């Protein structure tokens, strides 16, 4: 059987590797338009912050390893431009503009997501950060331009991580956003804590500022905004991503939320011989059981594994996602899982939220710091719906307790009864999550 994969990053190479382990005689072909495969994109901001570490250190496994060790026909520089469902073929062009055509019995679309840059004059001057090559270009630009000032369009995860990376390099950072809400999925008082951390580290925040055009003059980039002009040595675009679903759309496959490719719990598309996994595909939300598009690294790898499991039969069914995320902003960790109050209301729940401030460790322990938890529950059923957390200590892994509870559809009352670990160096007797749940239960 011929198993063809379009896309050679997380989902694609996870599927290829697992399929090879399970089916040694399977013919596996991976078509990747770039020359980079299997790398840690999430680590790029931290790599950029260290001029001495090459971007190549983020490559988990090289193309040559997949070919030589795993006997996978990995073809880099191959851009697929069309899928023929009737003929079970994919076609496209190589980097040398040579046409190619490959037949398949089973096909995986793992084309990922692409940056969305604002449509304005001079947008080509914006440098995105999504692919490994983007990271190389930014790193080289910082060196070549001896950058001292940077402007970032956007205030999402990547933008805020890049604030820290550039500041470490001694670069003055300004971040810009046309709307007035900073991190809109956080309650405003928690979002203010994050803003204060940015201010404390010298980052300028321009909310309610629309960029009208971008121009380059000599060695500077000028961002002409609604009420001011910012100059910088480099301008980054971190305004979000979109699913790369054009191939699926043009082939007549069903699309879903945000134009992502519609896939069932076994990763099958509307064509039984075609799978979709990774940032190009949708998922079910474990709280609402509705389709969502939330591009996540763990989901991409897990979905790739599941595709390999399901090539010949329905073996692995994925539960879905809870929308779990955590990111670092200087000394702060910011995390979320499940639904916010507004998301829960839009999903048809009768939500209640409650915020608490506790300590990350027993108060007499060195390193004890404030930790802020906002927890959301459903008044009708008592079910736990989600949580958001901000703090300098103990945030990143605490959110995982919420994630497990969401996957288990636990009530707030049941969560209060969970036997969470306790020792003074790691938390107070009543963990901040338990305190948050107790206070939320009173409101419910």
Please state whether beta strands 234-237 and 149-153 pair in parallel, antiparallel, or not at all (unpaired): parallel
Question: Given a cut of 90, is residue 163 above it in pLDDT?
Answer: yes
Q: Quick: pLDDT tens for 234-253.
A: 999 999 999 999 999 999 99
Name the nearest CA neighbour of 426 among 375, 374, 368, 371: 368
Interior/surface letters 376-402, b for 16+ CB within 10 angstroms, e for the rest: bbbeeebbbbbbbbbbbbbbeebbebb
In the predicted model, what is the mean pLDDT of residues 158-186?
A: 96
pLDDT digits 0-9 by tens, 406-426: 999 999 999 999 999 999 999
> What ranges in 3-62 are assigned the alpha helix state H?
10-22, 44-48
Give residue limits of the domains in the chain: 2-38+57-114+241-309, 117-237, 325-443
Instruction: Give the model's pLDDT for residue 116.
Output: 94
Handedness of CA 114, 116, 121, 127 (dihedral sign): negative
The per-residue pLDDT for 4 is: 98
Catalytic residues: 42
Contact 221, 232 (CB under 8 A): yes
pLDDT band at 219 (very low <50, low <70, confident <90, very high): confident
**Distance, first Cα to last Cα, the chain:** 55
E-strand ranges in 39-127 read: 73-76, 78-84, 89-94, 99-103, 106-109, 113-115, 126-127
CB within 8 Å of 102: residues ≥ 6 apart: 4, 29, 31, 89, 90, 91
Tokens found for residue 301: 């790898």
Percent of the residues in the chain that have a pLDDT greater than 90, as a whole number? 98
Residue 235: strand, helix, or coil: strand
Class of domain 2-38+57-114+241-309: alpha beta
Task: Write the class of the CATH domain 325-443.
Answer: alpha beta
Return the closest-CA partner of residue 280 out of 116, 232, 296, 289: 296
Q: How far apart are CA 307 and CA 107, in angstroms?
A: 10
Domains 2-38+57-114+241-309 and 325-443 share a fold: yes
pTM of the entire predicted model: 0.95
**Which band of pLDDT confidence, cut at 50, 70 and 90, is reported for residue 56?**
very high
So what's the pLDDT on residue 77?
96
Confidence at 226, pLDDT banded by 50, 70, 90 = confident
The candidate with the shortest Cα–Cα distance to 372, out of 393, 352, 385, 355, is 355
CATH superfamily of 117-237: FAD/NAD(P)-binding domain (3.50.50.60)
């Amino acid at each position: 059987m011929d198993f063809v994969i379009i896309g050679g990053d997380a989902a694609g190479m996870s599927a290829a590797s697992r399929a090879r382990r399970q089916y040694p005689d399977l013919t596996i072909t991976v078509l990747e338009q770039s020359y980079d495969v299997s790398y840690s994109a999430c680590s790029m901001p931290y790599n950029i912050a260290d001029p001495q570490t090459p971007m190549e250190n983020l490559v988990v496994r090289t193309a040559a390893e997949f070919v030589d060790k795993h006997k996978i026909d990995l073809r880099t520089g191959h851009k697929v431009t069309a899928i023929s469902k009737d003929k079970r073929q994919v076609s496209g062009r190589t980097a040398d503009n040579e046409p190619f055509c490959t037949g398949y019995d089973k096909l995986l679309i793992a084309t990922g997501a692409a940056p969305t840059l604002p449509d304005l004059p001079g947008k080509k001057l914006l440098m995105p950060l999504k692919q490994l090559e983007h990271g190389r270009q930014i790193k080289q630009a910082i060196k070549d331009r001896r950058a001292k000032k940077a402007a970032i369009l956007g205030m999402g995860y990547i933008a805020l991580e890049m604030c820290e990376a550039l500041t470490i390099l001694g670069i003055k950072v300004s971040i810009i956003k046309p709307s007035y809400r900073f991190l809109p999925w956080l309650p405003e008082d928690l979002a203010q804590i994050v803003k204060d951390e940015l201010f404390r580290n010298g980052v300028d925040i321009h909310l309610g500022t629309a960029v009208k055009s971008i121009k380059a003059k000599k060695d500077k980039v000028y961002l002409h905004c609604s009420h001011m002009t910012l100059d910088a040595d480099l301008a980054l675009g971190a305004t979000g991503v979109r699913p790369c679903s054009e191939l699926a759309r043009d082939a007549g496959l069903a699309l879903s939320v945000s134009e992502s490719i519609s896939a069932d719990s076994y990763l099958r598309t509307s064509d039984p011989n075609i799978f979709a996994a990774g940032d190009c595909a949708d998922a079910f939300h474990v709280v609402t059981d509705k389709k969502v598009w939330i591009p996540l690294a763990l989901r991409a790898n897990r979905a790739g594994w599941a595709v390999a499991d399901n090539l010949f039969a329905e073996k692995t069914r994925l539960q879905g996602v809870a929308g779990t995320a955590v990111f670092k902003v200087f000394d702060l960790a910011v995390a979320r899982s499940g639904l916010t109050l507004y998301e829960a209301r839009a999903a048809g729940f009768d939500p209640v939220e409650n915020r608490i401030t506790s300590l990350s460790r027993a108060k007499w322990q060195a390193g004890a710091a404030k930790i802020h938890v906002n927890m959301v529950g459903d008044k009708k059923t008592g079910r736990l719906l989600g949580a958001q957390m901000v703090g300098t200590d103990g945030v990143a892994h605490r959110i995982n307790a919420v994630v497990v509870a969401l996957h288990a559809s636990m009530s707030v009352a049941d969560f209060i009864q969970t036997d969470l670990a306790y020792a003074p160096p790691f938390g107070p007797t009543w963990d901040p999550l338990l305190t948050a749940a107790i206070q939320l239960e009173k409101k419910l």
